[in-house]
Amino acid sequence: MADLRVGVDVGGTNTDAVVLDGSDRVIAKAKRPTSRDVTEGLRAALDAVLAGLDPYARKRIGRVMLGTTHATNAILERRDLGRVAVLRLGAPATTSVPPLSDWPGELREVVSAGEAVVPGGHYVDGREIGRLDLDAIRRFLDGTDADAVAVTGVFSPSSAGHELAVRELVQAEYGLPVSASHEIGSLGLLERENATVLNAALYRVAAQVTGALTATLAERGLDALPYLAQNDGTLMTVEQAARLPVSTIGSGPANSLRGAAFLSGVPDAIVADVGGTSTDLGVLAGGFPRESAAAVEIGGVLTNFRMPDILAIALGGGTVVRGRDVGPDSVGYRIAEEALVFGGRTPTLTDAAVAAGRLPDGSAGWADRLAASGADLAELRAALALADAAAADAVDRMALGRAGRPLVVVGGGAFLLPADLPGVSRVIRPEHAEVANAVGAAIALASGRVDTIMPAHESRAEAIERVKEEAAARAVAAGADPAGVEIVDLLEVPLSYLAEPAVRVHVKAAGPLAR
């Protein structure tokens, strides 16, 4: 009986792993430092959590869910990225701002194998802007050395025919993978194009991640289905992750939010995930992360795919304290070597919290080592007061004027925050809070979403039902049980200033994984 699930989340400081049983109880957990090679951190955390299981329990593991920083790190560090031929379908209407115009120069140099704007694309009502010129596309691709192709058509979320025709041509004649914008972003041509190009540039990274995950499971004799966490706190198969790797970029914060909701039993709250380097704040609405309404910047590039609304502040367990000043730099994953409470020589916020009497479980000997270090305890407490004020300000910014919600504090540094903060009804530290991100990965649902435009005429109800069916089908393709898929989000926005009335429809479906 494969009734056990493993959740793993690779963070900037630690990699966490948990095992949940069929009743969603945490039966094993582990936290290991994230190494420079994040794959090694994955293996170390998985080995540590499996060490607490007997051989029979290992055979009961049916699924392994991974949340990872691989894609984010690749973009930020400009490494392991593929070269992308960038195609925009919209000439002559969209030539005034060329593709990648707003990209940082060094990232564009690494990623771009050439850019072209060719005839094609659609108006918002589905009419063609111009006839798709396949010969122009061939001439462009013949002169590139691309590893992948990114194609973005004007209003393709509403009419994807031209993008699909380009994909068919490229795969048949050039054998290259194609990143199509209608599968990745919503309306907003430039931001959607940026996300599509980043997705294509990440294909190599995705292959490394999915290959490492499946190899790691095979090496340990685990006959389990692997999944990757994505930006909205839900899951997708490794096949989907290989095709849409950009969807994993926001998985870490989303996992923490989902884990916080599950562990606390509070579906509507502000969440603070306190790590070794930073504190990420988000908002739970109905148990899912509140999504950002603004364009999201990734590595200096504006994108418009769905991401959690996250505020990150430079406060974590490894944040360096200098006198009464705090950060923003951190010792990160070296905290066990550098912090005073571990016998190191660098004062950190962890030391400041211990000086103020905020001690986590398993902190025996910390206070004694801090006293022996000769540190100025009064200065450490003053620095912690500054950190408390910064945390309170961040909570107020995320509340958007709605005071009185609870604050759920999770993460390995949860003990850093005080028992009371202005603007919240109470501070909740649930059991297993230190591995909430891994729990969030383990309990995640599979989902599918559709963001499109449709005419607002008499058949609107039928059209919305078709969109719901498409979203549900995408959830099933991501691994959801068809019998358990539900529509969890439906948004209709009338569009003004059009010759023909139209409405933008966003539908999200989610359900438990198929057994």
Query: Predicted confidence band at 15 (pLDDT cuts at 50, 70, 90)?
Result: confident
Domains 4-72+206-265 and 445-511 are alike in CATH topology? no
pLDDT number for residue 413:
86
The H helix count followed by the E strand count for the chain is 16, 23
pLDDT number for residue 275:
82
Query: Cα(66)–Cα(442) distance, rounded to whole angstroms?
Result: 8
Q: Is 311 helix (H, G, I), strand (E, B) or coil?
A: strand
- CA distance to 32, 47, 51, 63, per residue, from 60 (Å): 23, 16, 14, 9
- Name the percent of the chain lying above pLDDT 90: 20
Q: What is the mean pLDDT of the chain?
A: 85
- 2-11, 111-120, 450-459, 469-478: segment of lowest average pLDDT: 450-459
Give the number of residues written for the chain. Answer: 515
Query: Cα(74)–Cα(68) distance, rounded to whole angstroms?
Result: 11
pLDDT number for residue 82:
94
Nearest to 112, CA basis, from 91, 82, 89: 82
pLDDT number for residue 294:
67
Q: Is 207 helix (H, G, I), strand (E, B) or coil?
A: helix
- pTM of this prediction exceeds 0.85: no
Query: Predicted confidence band at 218 (pLDDT cuts at 50, 70, 90)?
Result: confident
Question: pLDDT by residue (tens digit) across 115-134?
Answer: 999 998 887 767 788 889 99
The two structure tokens encoding residue 420: 């009371």
Query: Predicted confidence band at 69 (pLDDT cuts at 50, 70, 90)?
Result: confident
Query: Predicted confidence band at 235 (pLDDT cuts at 50, 70, 90)?
Result: confident
The stretches of 130-180 forming alpha helices (DSSP H) are 134-142, 161-173
**What ranges make up the beta strands (E) of 154-204?**
178-180
Q: Are 384 and 355 in contact (CB under 8 A)?
A: yes
pLDDT number for residue 375:
85
Q: Are 154 and 129 in contact (CB under 8 A)?
A: yes
Query: Predicted confidence band at 500 (pLDDT cuts at 50, 70, 90)?
Result: low
Fold of the CATH domain 4-72+206-265: Nucleotidyltransferase; domain 5 (3.30.420)
pLDDT number for residue 71:
81
pLDDT at 110 over 90: yes
Nearest to 48, CA basis, from 74, 35, 30, 66: 30
Torsion, Cα 137 141 142 143, to 10 degrees, reads 120
pLDDT number for residue 433:
87
- 34-38, 305-309, 452-456: segment of lowest average pLDDT: 34-38
My answer on whether omega of the bond before 360 falls inside 30° of 0, hence cis, is: no
Find the mean pLDDT for residues 475-501. Answer: 78
Find the mean pLDDT for residues 417-422. Answer: 88
Angle between helices 203-219 and 70-77 (to 10 degrees): 140
pLDDT at 419 over 60: yes
Q: Please state which of the four CATH numbers 3.40.50, 2.60.40, 3.30.310, 3.30.360 is assigned to the domain occupying 82-201.
A: 3.40.50
Task: Count Cα atoms within 13 angstroms, Cβ side, for 471.
Answer: 25
Using CB atoms within 10 A of its CB, is residue 286 exposed (0-12), middle (13-18) or buried (19+)? exposed
Taking every pair of C-alpha atoms in the chain, what is the biggest distance, in angstroms? 77
Q: Where are the domains of the chain?
A: 4-72+206-265, 82-201, 445-511
- Higher model confidence: residue 288 or residue 371? 371
- Higher model confidence: residue 308 or residue 384? 384
Query: Cα(102)–Cα(395) distance, rounded to whole angstroms?
Result: 32
Nearest to 111, CA basis, from 98, 96, 100, 125: 100
Find the mean pLDDT for residues 19-47. Answer: 81
pLDDT number for residue 10:
82
Q: Around Cβ 83, how many Cβ atoms within 10 Å?
A: 17
Nearest to 43, CA basis, from 68, 75, 73, 79: 68
pLDDT number for residue 359:
85
The two structure tokens encoding residue 29: 């957990």
Query: Cα(66)–Cα(59) distance, rounded to whole angstroms?
Result: 19
What CATH architecture is 445-511? 2-Layer Sandwich (3.30)
- 69-78, 153-162, 490-499: segment of lowest average pLDDT: 490-499
Q: Are 179 and 170 in contact (CB under 8 A)?
A: no
Using CB atoms within 10 A of its CB, is residue 390 exposed (0-12), middle (13-18) or buried (19+)? middle
| Secondary structure string (H, E, C) spanning 267-300 | CCEEEEEECCCCEEEEEEECCEECECCCCEEECC
My answer on whether omega of the bond before 92 falls inside 30° of 0, hence cis, is: yes
Long-range contacts of 393-398 (CB under 8 A, 24+ apart): 394/272, 394/279, 394/281, 394/311, 394/313, 395/270, 395/272, 395/281, 395/421, 395/422, 395/423, 395/424, 396/422, 396/423, 397/311, 398/270, 398/281, 398/282, 398/283, 398/309, 398/311
Query: Cα(169)–Cα(485) distance, rounded to whole angstroms?
Result: 34
pLDDT number for residue 171:
94
Query: Predicted confidence band at 38 (pLDDT cuts at 50, 70, 90)?
Result: low
End-to-end CA distance of the chain: 11
pLDDT number for residue 157:
80
pLDDT at 502 over 80: no
Question: pLDDT by residue (tens digit) across 77-86?
Answer: 788 899 999 9
Residues 6 or more apart in contact with residue 206 via CB below 8 angstroms? 71, 241, 242, 243, 245
Hey, CA dihedral for 451, 258, 41, 19, is it positive or negative? negative
